[in-house]
Amino acid sequence: MTTFHASILPVLIIGGTGKTGRRLAERLTATGIPVRIGSRNAAPAFDWENPQSWAIALEGVSAAYITYYPDLAVPGAAEAVGALARLAVRKGVKRLVLLSGRGEPEAQRAEEALQASGADWTIIRASWFAQNFSESFFLAPILAGELALPVDGVREPFIHADDIADVAAAALTDNRHVGQLYEVTGPRLLTFAEATSEIAKATGRDIRFQTIPHEAFMQGLVADGVPADIAGLIDELFTQVLDGRNEYLSDGVQRALGRAPRDFADFVGETAATGVWEPVR
């Protein structure tokens, strides 16, 4: 094993307050590696919409973990990732790890831009996060007792965000991961109805899943005040990515870490125990 020595220089975690970035920061800090959180509210700030902030955030770091907000499927994301990667390499920050998405053409363009930058790259291409049910846009419907989505029997191998963070931590600290593309998934395929049922059983609550027309779903996003760019992203995910193209398992976690990925049941059990799915009375 060849270890990447970051000495005392921090690792820049772009999206360091997000689902995977927060977990990655905890892991690196626990091993004595300092981190720099890349976000609009950090100091120095990192803002994807302000390229002038990139150079300052990259100053004096040893490596970077790259997540793109709101998603790599957004037009212009690949160009931004490529520009950031080239800038990082010019500044001597060659060790770059990118979080990507399965079945997204724009995400794969971002991967190609990273690979062409001259960086010592690793790509983590992830399936849907299990944590979307507890830390993201599925939480409110789960609390309300009904998750209504424009999908029917499509199955997804939900990945635990802890597994992504574990792979990212390994990729940032061990040179054997340079040049590797890890497609990471959970160990089994589940429909959204089955996933909802597992949450209902673990919480002892009546939580239903309903398939609704796409138009009704989009109207609901507008009524809930979801910003247009986020609504457009969700629209693309449900009309393109969830068309069955990702109904298969991948071995990225096993290849990177030498162990099986966490099961969705593990996520449900540990999350139910926190009480986050219990409505406030």
Interatomic CA distance for residues 240 and 91, integer angstroms: 37
* Contact between residue 124 and residue 20 where contact means Cβ atoms under 8 Å apart: no
Q: Is 20 among the domain residues?
A: yes
Mean pLDDT of 128-148: 94
Q: Is 231 among the domain residues?
A: no
Q: Is 227 among the domain residues?
A: no
| Residue bearing tokens 């989009």 | 218
Residue 1 is predicted with a pLDDT of 45
Residue 60 has pLDDT above 70, yes or no: yes
Strand ranges, E, within 157-232: 180-184, 190-191, 208-211
Q: Is 76 among the domain residues?
A: yes
Mean pLDDT of 196-213: 97
Mean pLDDT of the residues in the chain: 94
- Least confidently predicted of 9-13, 51-55, 207-211, 215-219: 215-219
pLDDT, tens digit, for every residue of 70-110? Answer: 899 888 999 999 999 999 999 999 999 999 999 988 999 99
Burial-class residue 77 by CB neighbours within 10 Å (0-12, 13-18, 19+): buried
Nearest to 207 by CA among 185, 192, 218: 192
Q: Is 216 among the domain residues?
A: no
Report the 10 Å Cβ neighbour count for 50. Answer: 10
Q: How confident is the model at residue 30 (pLDDT cuts 50, 70, 90)?
A: very high
Q: Is 218 among the domain residues?
A: no
Residue 7 is predicted with a pLDDT of 54
Q: Is 230 among the domain residues?
A: no
Residue 168 is predicted with a pLDDT of 98
Beta strand 190-191 with 155-156: parallel, antiparallel or unpaired?
A: antiparallel
Q: Is 18 among the domain residues?
A: yes
Interatomic CA distance for residues 37 and 45, integer angstroms: 8
Q: What is the CATH number of the domain that holds 87?
A: 3.40.50.720
Helices (H), 61-184: 77-90, 105-115, 139-144, 161-173
Residue 6 has pLDDT above 50, yes or no: no
Q: How confident is the model at residue 224 (pLDDT cuts 50, 70, 90)?
A: confident
pTM for the model stands at 0.95
pLDDT, tens digit, for every residue of 230-274? Answer: 888 888 888 878 889 999 999 999 999 999 999 999 999 999 999
Mean pLDDT of 47-54: 97
**C-alpha R_g of the chain:** 19
| Residue bearing tokens 């499509």 | 154
Mean pLDDT of 168-174: 98
Between these two residues, 208 and 280, which has the higher pLDDT value?
208
Mean pLDDT of 186-202: 98
Residue 134 has pLDDT above 90, yes or no: yes
H or E element in which residue 148 lies: strand 146-149
Partners of 126 in the β-ladder: 101, 184
Interatomic CA distance for residues 129 and 138, integer angstroms: 11
- 3-class state of residue 84 by DSSP: helix
Give every CB contact of residue 94 below 8 A, 6+ residues apart in sequence.
88, 118, 119, 120
- The residue range of the domain holding 44 is 11-129+159-185+248-262
Residue 281 has pLDDT above 90, yes or no: no
Residue 3 is predicted with a pLDDT of 53
Nearest to 278 by CA among 200, 178, 189: 200
Residue 137 has pLDDT above 90, yes or no: no
Query: Number of structural domains, the chain?
Result: 1
